Chains A and B, each alone.
Chain A
Amino acid sequence: DTGVSQNPRHKITKRGQNVTFRCDPISEHNRLYWYRQTLGQGPEFLTYFQNEAQLEKSRLLSDRFSAERPKGSFSTLEIQRTEQGDSAMYLCASSKGTPGDQFFGPGTRLTVL
């Protein structure tokens, strides 16, 4: 499968724990995006990488959130001290930067108890 992959697909954690998600983009895509989707809403932009550089961060990305893309390939999104409000689907997308080529992964569903 040459699409965007995300791991894990599901994560259940207790409030206060740290979690880390991984995204593997399509191999030739230099741009990588993280979004968050809550029930009944559209995806909301969190952050954007071009190669290894993090070029934009949303106000939604509080200090408890950190994202990295160390070698310009896969990316990780870490949430520290999780809160119940962090429960959502976390989506990763990648593109080459041409219109219409932003492809989404299946998402990681986070449930914080």
Chain B
Amino acid sequence: GEDVEQSLFLSVREGDSSVINCTYTDSSSTYLYWYKQEPGAGLQLLTYIFSNMDMKQDQRLTVLLNKKDKHLSLRIADTQTGDSAIYFCAESSGYNKLIFGAGTRLAVHP
């Protein structure tokens, strides 16, 4: 079945890089996504990657995909306090439903 797993918590120092990891099980996934959720706010799409790509970079964000191992990561360069939030990995097949992980809570400290 479809399943997405993430580590629950990550703590980093301001200015360091953060790496959030995710594994998924559905080999038919065509797109993989990273969403951000701040307290009291809705889900915000950060970036996504097509399954035939290995890497995608968007400003401070770098997504790496290892399709063989079904492993996805999100690297945030120069992490700031404003990056503190819950980050969700999600997969989809085609353009339909998203299957989310439980989320990784990122805490950024001075």
Residues of A in contact with B (beta carbons under 8 Å apart): 31, 33, 35, 40-45, 48, 56, 91, 93, 95, 97-100, 102-107
Contacts and interface: CB of A to CB of B under 8 A. Distances in A.
A104 B33 CA distance: 14
Contact of B97 (A40, A56, A98, A99): A56
A56 B97 CA distance: 9
Interface residues of B, number: 22
Contacts of B90: 42
B59 interface: no
B95 A45 contact: no
B41 A106 contact: yes
Contacts of B98: 33, 35, 43, 45, 93, 102
18 contacts: A31-B95, A41-B102, A42-B90, A42-B100, A43-B43, A43-B88, A43-B98, A45-B99, A48-B97, A93-B98, A95-B95, A97-B95, A99-B31, A99-B95, A100-B33, A105-B42, A106-B41, A106-B42
Nearest to A103: B45
A99 B48 contact: yes
Interface in B50-90: 50, 88, 90
Nearest to A44: B100
Interface string B13-42: 000000000000000000101010000011
Contacts of B33: 100
Contact of B42 (A31, A98, A104): A104
B99 A100 contact: no
A45 B41 CA distance: 19
Contact of B100 (A43, A103, A107): A43
A56 B96 contact: yes
Contact of A33 (B35, B48, B50, B97): B97
Contact of A42 (B48, B88, B95): B88
B77 to A, nearest CB: 21
Contacts of B41: 106
- Name the residue among B45, B88, B95, B100 with the largest chain A CB count within 10 angstroms: B95
A91 to B, nearest CB: 7
